[in-house]
Amino acid sequence: MTINRDIVITEVALRDGSHAIGHQYTIEQVTAVAKALDEANVPYIEVAHGDGLGGSSQQYGVSLTDEMELIEAAVSVCKKAKIAVLLLPGIGTMKELRQAASIGAKMARIATHVTEADVAPQHINLAKELGMETVGFLMMSHMVPTKKLVEQAKLMEKYGADTVYVVDSAGAFLPHEVRERIEALRQALDVNIGFHGHNNLSLAMANSLAAIEAGATKIDGSVRCLGAGAGNTQTEVLVAVLERLGLKSGIDLYKMMDLAETIVAPILKTPQEITRNSLVLGYAGVYSSFLLHSQRAAERFNVDSRDILIELGKRKVIGGQEDMILDVAAQIAENPISVKK
């Protein structure tokens, strides 16, 4: 791999990792992690509810601490890093975006389902007006052909996004599929291209490298693999791999290793690994944040959580349809279905 460009990493453990701990981050935890990441020269740190601004709810999971307090805490300890926030139109509103900007957030990542970029223009426009760097975040990108993905990415660019991300929300992509899509976007767009992976098929690192090779310059990572499902591309490992490849991220590898071991590891109740349920997320192409919801539904209705996830995949359920998890669990309990094991 011969590449002559720097790779910019956004650390997502303080947002995506919220899913893994049931949205129970404390101010003390966020402060400690953000401060250590800043000292390690991580350029962007995403902080929000797992489902983005305004996500704290019964449907998505109630936050232990108000996300604005978490954002403010992260901003207060970062001397160099910029704090990013995620907003899903329909969950978060322009009010939350204004509030996040007013307390110091510098990047807005506007996330839509891969076929629904057209709901994003007003939020991208507002972020630009607020002086924020803007990202178009196309979730569940594996669900559409490359041609459709390019069409939606061009809309994000048209609305003013500085970067457009291919988002593997389910951890379902294979490396050649990532490469094809990033190459297509690189040819079609003038803005930066990013990639956000999940490790449900143990391919987050391979997919991130495929994205870089194909032209992506912005890559998401989560320290200690702290993210939804089996987690994201592991940041400290990504930094090490990039250094082996002669690519610059500007991040201090030793400091990343240390904070992963001493600060982030204690936050995890159990280590992030590919369990049977997270594996099924990638296999069935199901939104990674559905993991804990499906496990709870399985316990409630005394069914196999894998059956729930397989059925959700068949129905092509997407983020925002968490209510379907309980419906599917109840239906399986009443009429057991046969799925491929």
Question: Alpha-carbon distance 227 to 209, whole Å?
Answer: 19
Q: Is 287 annotated as a binding residue?
A: yes
CA nearest to 318, candidates 95, 73, 142, 119: 142
Q: Residues 91-118: pLDDT tens digits?
A: 999 999 999 999 999 999 999 999 999 9
Q: What is the pLDDT of residue 338?
A: 47
Please tell me the predicted confidence (pLDDT) of residue 239.
Answer: 98
How confident is the model at residue 76, as a pLDDT?
98
Determine whether 217 is exposed, middle or buried from the number of CB atoms within 10 Å of its CB (0-12, 13-18, 19+): middle
Residue with tokens 């992976």: 197
Determine the Cα–Cα distance for residues 88 and 110; give it in Å rounded to an integer: 6
Classify 8-267 by CATH class: alpha beta
The 10s digit of each residue's pLDDT in 31-66 is 999 999 999 999 999 999 999 999 998 888 899 999
Express each pLDDT in 78-89 by its tens digit: 999 999 999 999
Residue 293 labeled ligand binder = no
Boundaries of every domain in the chain: 8-267, 289-334
**Tens digits of per-residue pLDDT, 134-169?**
999 999 999 999 999 999 999 999 999 999 999 999
Q: According to the annotation, is 23 in a ligand binding site? A: no
Reported as a single tens digit per residue, the pLDDT across 206-249 is: 999 999 999 999 999 999 999 999 999 999 999 999 999 999 99
Q: What is the pLDDT of residue 324?
A: 87
Residues with a catalytic annotation lie at 19
Say whether 196 counts as a known binding-site residue.
yes
Residue 165 φ then ψ, to 5°? -105, 135
Question: According to the annotation, is 304 in a ligand binding site?
Answer: no
Please report the DSSP string for 254-322 in residue order.
HHHHHHIIIIIGGG-SS-----HHHHHHHHHT--TTHHHHHHHHHHHHT--HHHHHHHHHHTT--TT-T
CB 221 within 8 A of CB 234: yes
Is 289-334 CATH 1.10.3210.10? no
